[in-house]
Amino acid sequence: MTGSLHEKNGKWQLVLYGAVEILFPDKKSENPSKKVCKWISSNLSATSKNRLLASKMLVEKIMEYEQQENLVAERKALIDNGIIVPTLSVTTDILFTDFVEDWLKRKQGQIQQTTWEKYQIYAERHIIPYFAELNVKLSELKPRHFVDYYQYKSTGGRLDGKEGGLDITSVRGHAALIRTILNEAVIFEYINGNPAQNVAVPKRARTNAKSAKNVYMTATEANDVLKAIENEDIFPLVYVAITYGLRKSEVLGLKWDAVDFEKNTLEIKSTVVKNKTIVYKDTTKTESSHETYELLPEIKELLIAIKAEQDRNRKEYEELYTQTDYIFTQPDGRLYRPDSITRTFQRTLKRHGLPEMRFHDLRHSTASILFDKGWDLEAVKAWLRHADVETTSNIYLHVSKDRKHLLAADMHGTFIAPIVENNNDTETGEKKDA
């Protein structure tokens, strides 16, 4: 972008030279990059005294259009990288809810379907209805808006009518989505800064102790559960999950091509996830989640039995059998739904009088058991396939009651016992005479 001063009709004129798409953004052109000039009156008399002021105005105007030029270049770069830019015009009158809706539309097809569906639930069921009542503009957002929102959702923002707020994990999901959306608003210069960037999600005091805590079974407790459900259809799935510390999506995503009976390996490379729709993906949650385990003898024996049972079921159901490559299927070959496994697991525990827990608590228990066995953080991290050791430490560094007892027993006698004068009779407990 360049410019110069010209005298016309007794006034200093600012003459800018640049692309038509920058100088005349509302003008349609077959060649947006075509160089044109734009005359802007300074409204200053063409005197030598005013020339300095006009020159300053020219520099400021060039800088203004250069910012627009840089923005257009950034948008083109994003488009070239497959990122769709906002369709809303840059104005101070844009409602926050309109920008959220626009963001959601643009991201569909740009991110994984299950992730997009999760964002859609957060946005359409929670964020948009809340901020629609406030009728707040994007440019009017302040940190206090999100302090209030997180507090509301943490204490009483449920949509099912139940008392209390959302789970803290859900509220953090809302906060992450809001920050992401507003960061993009900053990139595209709708706002100068992200008002939600440094707003923390409140830690909600929980009153229901049973539902508030993760379950960390000891090896003994886990074996009691496995023994109780060994004749249930869900047993093989639970056994494999707790042995390797697999997520529900990962154990449901196991395929026969992930098993090598000759090399004795089991590869974690596929998942089955659900938000609104069920998606079968040949990918894992993170890059570190993709891992190959040694096929333990007991797991190998179990998988061979499952394979034989599937062969028998194919013959029994004949043309009614659903052919898949998945390991864990229903008798007729149909795949399990993630939500049905959740319900089946809960019903199975209840039927056998076992403690209530989530399916993901099997993974928690694997971590706790590994710690009880003396594994260090790095070893547990590797087995559970965490991206970093901090995750292992923050989430799974749970010391079970049994391990505390072992630690106390190990500490006993470490130091020389103090000599304590005892003036009481050891049998009666009464104070001895001097």
Please indicate, yes or no, if residue 432 is contained in any of the structural domains. Answer: no
Please indicate, yes or no, if residue 434 is contained in any of the structural domains. Answer: no
DSSP 8-state secondary structure symbol assigned to residue 292: E
Q: Indicate which CATH number applies to the domain containing 127.
A: 1.10.150.130
**pLDDT classification of 433: cutoffs 50, 70, 90:** low
**Could you read off the pLDDT of 30-50 as tens digits, one per residue?**
888 889 899 999 999 999 888
Q: What pLDDT score was predicted for residue 65?
A: 83
33 and 103 within one domain: no
**pLDDT classification of 387: cutoffs 50, 70, 90:** confident
**pLDDT classification of 195: cutoffs 50, 70, 90:** very high
Percentage above 90 pLDDT, the chain: 39
Domain boundary pick from 204, 236, 252: 204
- C-alpha–C-alpha distance, residues 113 and 118, integer Å: 9
402 and 300 within one domain: yes
Which alpha helices (H) appear in 81-218, and where do they start and end? Answer: 96-107, 113-122, 128-134, 143-155, 168-187, 209-212
Q: What pLDDT score was predicted for residue 285?
A: 53
Domain count, the chain: 3
Please indicate, yes or no, if residue 211 is contained in any of the structural domains. Answer: no
**pLDDT classification of 335: cutoffs 50, 70, 90:** confident
Q: Which residues share a beta bridge with 247?
A: none
Among the listed ranges 192-196, 350-354, 414-418, which one has the minimum average pLDDT value? Answer: 414-418
Q: Which residues share a beta bridge with 260?
A: 265
Element (H, E) at 89: none
Please indicate, yes or no, if residue 86 is contained in any of the structural domains. Answer: no
**pLDDT classification of 338: cutoffs 50, 70, 90:** confident
Q: CB 186: neighbour CB atoms within 10 A? A: 14
Please indicate, yes or no, if residue 8 is contained in any of the structural domains. Answer: yes
Please indicate, yes or no, if residue 422 is contained in any of the structural domains. Answer: no
Q: What pLDDT score was predicted for residue 211?
A: 45
276 and 376 within one domain: yes
* Residue 9 Cα distances to 3, 245, 361, angstroms: 19, 81, 81
Please indicate, yes or no, if residue 148 is contained in any of the structural domains. Answer: yes
Residue 209 has pLDDT above 50, yes or no: no
Supply the mean pLDDT for the chain.
83
**pLDDT classification of 208: cutoffs 50, 70, 90:** very low
What distance, in Å, lies between the first and last C-alpha atoms of the chain? 103
Q: Are 268 and 385 in contact (CB under 8 A)?
A: yes
Please indicate, yes or no, if residue 383 is contained in any of the structural domains. Answer: yes
> Which residue is listed with tokens 């809302």?
174
Residue 336: give the domain boundaries. 219-408
Among the listed ranges 2-6, 16-20, 162-166, 354-358, which one has the minimum average pLDDT value? Answer: 162-166
Q: Are 148 and 175 in contact (CB under 8 A)?
A: no
Q: What pLDDT score was predicted for residue 167?
A: 84
226 and 198 within one domain: no
Q: What mean pLDDT comes out for the span 167-172?
A: 88
249 and 196 within one domain: no
Q: What pLDDT score was predicted for residue 20?
A: 86
Q: What pLDDT score was predicted for residue 406?
A: 61
Residue 275 has pLDDT above 60, yes or no: no
Q: What pLDDT score was predicted for residue 187?
A: 81
**Could you read off the pLDDT of 9-26 as tens digits, one per residue?**
899 999 999 888 888 877
**pLDDT classification of 186: cutoffs 50, 70, 90:** confident
SS3 category, 58: helix
Q: Are 246 and 238 in contact (CB under 8 A)?
A: no
Q: What pLDDT score was predicted for residue 280?
A: 46
248 and 171 within one domain: no
Look at 281 and 238; give whichever has higher pLDDT: 238
Domain boundary pick from 160, 176, 204: 204
Q: What mean pLDDT comes out for the span 157-172?
A: 80
Look at 131 and 430; give whichever has higher pLDDT: 131
Look at 82 and 140; give whichever has higher pLDDT: 140
177 and 275 within one domain: no
23 and 124 within one domain: no
Domain boundary pick from 179, 204, 229: 204
Closest CA to 88 of 76, 105, 111: 105
104 and 63 within one domain: no
Q: What pLDDT score was predicted for residue 244?
A: 94
**Could you read off the pLDDT of 317-334 as tens digits, one per residue?**
988 998 989 999 999 998
37 and 157 within one domain: no
200 and 103 within one domain: yes
Name residues whose C-beta falls within 8 Å of residue 295's C-beta, 6 or more positions apart in sequence.
Answer: 259, 260, 261, 264, 265, 266, 303
Residue 110 is encoded by which pair of tokens?
């740009």
113-122 helix and 168-187 helix, angle to the nearest 10 degrees: 100
Q: Indicate which CATH number applies to the domain containing 392.
A: 1.10.443.10
**pLDDT classification of 71: cutoffs 50, 70, 90:** low
Q: What pLDDT score was predicted for residue 298?
A: 95
Residue 39's region, left for phi above 0, alpha for psi from -120 to 50, else beta, is: beta
Q: What mean pLDDT comes out for the span 98-107?
A: 92
- Largest Cα separation within the chain, whole Å, is 121
Percentage above 70 pLDDT, the chain: 81
330 and 241 within one domain: yes
